[in-house]
Chain A
Amino acid sequence: MLNYEETEDQKLLRETIGALAIQFGDEYWRNKDTSGEFPREYFEALARDGWFNLNVPQELGGTGLGMVETAIVINEVAKKAGMAASDILMAICVFAIQTIKSFAKGPLRDRLLQELAQGKHIMSFCLTEPGAGVNTLDIATTATKDGDGFIINGAKIWITLAHEATIMNVVARTTPKHEARKRTDGLTIFLVETNNLRQGKIRKKRIDDLSMRSLGSNEVFFDNVYVPSENIIGEHDKGWDILPALLNAERISTASMSVGLGQLVLEKACDYAKSRQVFSRPIGSNQAIQFPLAKAKTDLEGAWAVTQRASWEFDNGLDCAVAANVAAYMGARAAFFASDRAIQTYGGLGFAKNSDIERHWRDSRLFRTGPVPEEMALNFLAQRMLGLPRSY
């Protein structure tokens, strides 16, 4: 039986996280966006109220909730406080906790999960490289065996929060492409504790960019960075095999965020359309204003339905790649369309920093390009669902 109604617990999760999120209003996020400063007060409030326990296993003191609840919480935060606020939850609960609980091993796993739950870490996922682009198999960062560990060398780009990160998941090549037995072999994912380097240096350079400026993007350089072997996430040379699990969780999260942000700007746009009078009547009485807002609503509803499906598949151990990609694609487009229409509805005011619409518009643009550009989502769906030739 299908059931789209959220349970009492899920509703209460929404309400409680929503009440926390609205404590940090537009002005807070506007200032952080302008200064590029990490929203530490907000991060600490999430930690204080235990929100990083969300998907930490119960045996480690967490609440052990699944992707369905994670998506709900991320969605509600985006709806109440915008994208940067919800991206922090993705960084901790999805990039860090979901990955570590699924693929890290031994005492390292348990220690980090407990520390993450307490808000002791900020996490970055270091995949993208300047030379490889979306072709992950072309990455040039290497990790070479050295005694009981590996030495990482290479450069990454566009790494969110790297300047604050205490842990980084770094994708590196451990076997050269031409020596790999299979095309997809030879990549390994390492968990690097940045405050605890036995050897080497990590340099970071902030990029002045468009979206989520309070979290910030960076170039990251690994110079002879030593990592112990027990810090391998998944198996040596088999990083590619676990990437889909990480990326599907990421797609579901970005979809949830996109829908939340879309709902936020749509509500603002509708309120404005009802109250702004031009030609002696509300601008919202013109279908030219009304219809695009109604279309934004249909897009967001559709995207959320697929997101729910993807997270349900994820929690039930089903292959969720198709739904996760569809959700991320639809969500990103819906959020951008809604934000763009919000600017149009606001007229000139939409360009003013203190309307906050321009910030949401900039933020909403991101998920059309990264983590997965829409072309790559479509490439995947064309090949996987439609049987068309592989183009990536």
Chain B
Amino acid sequence: MVEIIVCFKHVVDESELKVDRANNKINFEGAKTKISDDDKNAIEEAVRLKEKNGGTVIGLCLGKADARKSVKEALAMGCDKARLLSDPAFQDGDAIRTAYVLSQAIKRIGKYDIIITATGTTDVYSGIVGPALAEFLEIPQATFVSKVALAGDKVTLDRLMEEGVETVECDLPLLIAVAREINQPRFPTLIQIMSAGKKEVVEWKASDLGIEASTVGKNGSLVQVTSTQVPKSARKKILFEGSASESSERLADALLKEGVVN
């Protein structure tokens, strides 16, 4: 039996974002939202561990009220219950403040063996939340995890390194930040989607977690995001004129020179 808490973020779907070319700003109006891609790997791994070893998975999400849709999806994917941390005070916090709020919620949940997060999220990819959360909870952590094997109180993990795989062993409890390669998240079945609404979702505000509002969110953060801009990507245009055989040769040379092909 293993008690797992999996953290996931409700983000805007970057593949659907429109850029306002006049000022290179992202237009968030009416943007679609989703569970951050890699967080789905985290949820999938939590559910697989539960399916193999028994136990429960609690989904934990810090987000606005519209994150309820993502919470429901996580429940459909197999989380047994969920906690949604939703308070205007939490908004626009930096990664450390997010980790702090999550740690307070986890302390309130109390019992756990494994905390699972992704290594980063598809919107900002700071890679800080998982490790910082482990620090707040004072438990060991492993990042870039591509394989988890649980045996009794010990867990063996593969960590994906730049060149190769490192295998580590650790006692419970611990925090695992998974790599995208770890699994292929499942599609919930129709029955799972429709029964997700019957599972327990509790919303917690700052006061429920003993958090002083001024210490979190934008006000409590050391990092302030002042603006978000899209990099200008000017296309290079070269026109080759002449016969087909001549210009194709010059095209091939140019592609080689630019490193487009090698």
Contact residues in B for A65 (Cβ distance below 8 Å): 194
Contacts A9-B194, A12-B69, A63-B194; is A50 near B76 (CB within 8 Å)? no
Contact residues in A for B34 (Cβ distance below 8 Å): 15
Number of interface residues of A (CB under 8 A): 18
In the complex the two chains form, is A12's CB within 8 Å of B72's CB?
yes
Residue on B nearest A53 in the bound complex, by CB? B190
The docked-state distance in angstroms from the alpha carbon of A384 to that of B102 is 61
Contact with A along B157-198 (1 / 0, CB 8 A): 000000000000000000000000000000111111110110
In the complex the two chains form, is B188's CB within 8 Å of A8's CB?
no
Tell me, yes or no, whether B94 is within 8 Å of chain A by CB. Answer: no
In the complex the two chains form, is B68's CB within 8 Å of A16's CB?
no
In the complex the two chains form, is B193's CB within 8 Å of A11's CB?
no
In A6-61, the 8 Å CB interface with B consists of 8-9, 11-13, 15-16, 19-20, 48-51, 53-54, 61
Tell me, yes or no, whether B39 is within 8 Å of chain A by CB. Answer: no
One of A11, A15, A49 near B189 (C-beta < 8 A): A49
Tell me, yes or no, whether B44 is within 8 Å of chain A by CB. Answer: no
B10 to chain A, nearest CB (A): 12
Residue on A nearest B71 in the bound complex, by CB? A8
Contact with A along B102-115 (1 / 0, CB 8 A): 00000000000000
Residue on A nearest B68 in the bound complex, by CB? A8
B71 to chain A, nearest CB (A): 9
In B131-177, the 8 Å CB interface with A consists of none
The docked-state distance in angstroms from the alpha carbon of A53 to that of B188 is 13
In the complex the two chains form, is A9's CB within 8 Å of B190's CB?
no
The docked-state distance in angstroms from the alpha carbon of A50 to that of B28 is 34
Contacts A8-B68, A9-B197; is A50 near B190 (CB within 8 Å)? yes
The docked-state distance in angstroms from the alpha carbon of A387 to that of B196 is 49
The docked-state distance in angstroms from the alpha carbon of A20 to that of B187 is 7
Contact residues in A for B193 (Cβ distance below 8 Å): 9, 12-13, 16
A21 to chain B, nearest CB (A): 11
Number of interface residues of B (CB under 8 A): 16
The docked-state distance in angstroms from the alpha carbon of A342 to that of B196 is 39
Contacts A9-B197, A12-B73; is A19 near B190 (CB within 8 Å)? no
Contacts A9-B72, A12-B76; is A49 near B190 (CB within 8 Å)? yes
Contact residues in B for A63 (Cβ distance below 8 Å): 190-191, 194
Contacts A9-B194, A65-B194; is A50 near B72 (CB within 8 Å)? no
Contact residues in B for A16 (Cβ distance below 8 Å): 73, 76, 187-188, 190, 193
In the complex the two chains form, is A49's CB within 8 Å of B187's CB?
yes
The docked-state distance in angstroms from the alpha carbon of A49 to that of B193 is 10
Contact residues in A for B191 (Cβ distance below 8 Å): 50, 53, 61, 63
Contact with A along B188-213 (1 / 0, CB 8 A): 11111110110000000000000000
B41 to chain A, nearest CB (A): 15
The docked-state distance in angstroms from the alpha carbon of A12 to that of B77 is 12
Contact residues in A for B192 (Cβ distance below 8 Å): 50
The docked-state distance in angstroms from the alpha carbon of A173 to that of B196 is 47
B201 to chain A, nearest CB (A): 11
Contact residues in B for A12 (Cβ distance below 8 Å): 69, 72-73, 76, 193, 196
Residue on B nearest A63 in the bound complex, by CB? B194
The docked-state distance in angstroms from the alpha carbon of A13 to that of B69 is 11
Residue with the greatest number of chain B CB neighbours at <10 A, chosen from A48, A49, A54: A49
A42 to chain B, nearest CB (A): 13
B200 to chain A, nearest CB (A): 16
In the complex the two chains form, is B189's CB within 8 Å of A8's CB?
no
In the complex the two chains form, is A19's CB within 8 Å of B187's CB?
yes
Contact residues in B for A9 (Cβ distance below 8 Å): 72, 193-194, 197
Contact residues in B for A53 (Cβ distance below 8 Å): 190-191
Contact with B along A186-198 (1 / 0, CB 8 A): 0000000000000
In the complex the two chains form, is B68's CB within 8 Å of A51's CB?
no
In the complex the two chains form, is B194's CB within 8 Å of A51's CB?
no
Residue on B nearest A52 in the bound complex, by CB? B190
A8 to chain B, nearest CB (A): 5
The docked-state distance in angstroms from the alpha carbon of A50 to that of B73 is 16
Residue on B nearest A54 in the bound complex, by CB? B190
B128 to chain A, nearest CB (A): 28
The docked-state distance in angstroms from the alpha carbon of A53 to that of B194 is 11
Residue on A nearest B195 in the bound complex, by CB? A63
The docked-state distance in angstroms from the alpha carbon of A191 to that of B73 is 38
The docked-state distance in angstroms from the alpha carbon of A13 to that of B196 is 12
Contact residues in B for A49 (Cβ distance below 8 Å): 187-190
Contact with A along B72-98 (1 / 0, CB 8 A): 110010000000000000000000000
Contact residues in B for A61 (Cβ distance below 8 Å): 191
The docked-state distance in angstroms from the alpha carbon of A53 to that of B189 is 10
The docked-state distance in angstroms from the alpha carbon of A51 to that of B190 is 6
Residue on B nearest A48 in the bound complex, by CB? B189
Residue on B nearest A49 in the bound complex, by CB? B189
In A330-375, the 8 Å CB interface with B consists of none
B1 to chain A, nearest CB (A): 28
B175 to chain A, nearest CB (A): 28
Contact residues in A for B69 (Cβ distance below 8 Å): 8, 11-12
- Can you name 12 extra interface pairs (CB under 8 A) apart from A16-B188, A63-B190? A9-B193, A9-B197, A12-B73, A12-B193, A12-B196, A15-B73, A16-B73, A16-B190, A49-B188, A49-B189, A50-B189, A53-B191
Complex A-B, nearest 6 residue pairs according to Cβ-Cβ distance, in ascending order: A50-B189, A50-B190, A63-B194, A49-B189, A50-B191, A53-B190
What would 7 A/B residue contacts be, using CB atoms closer than 8 Å? A8-B69, A8-B72, A13-B193, A16-B73, A50-B191, A53-B191, A61-B191
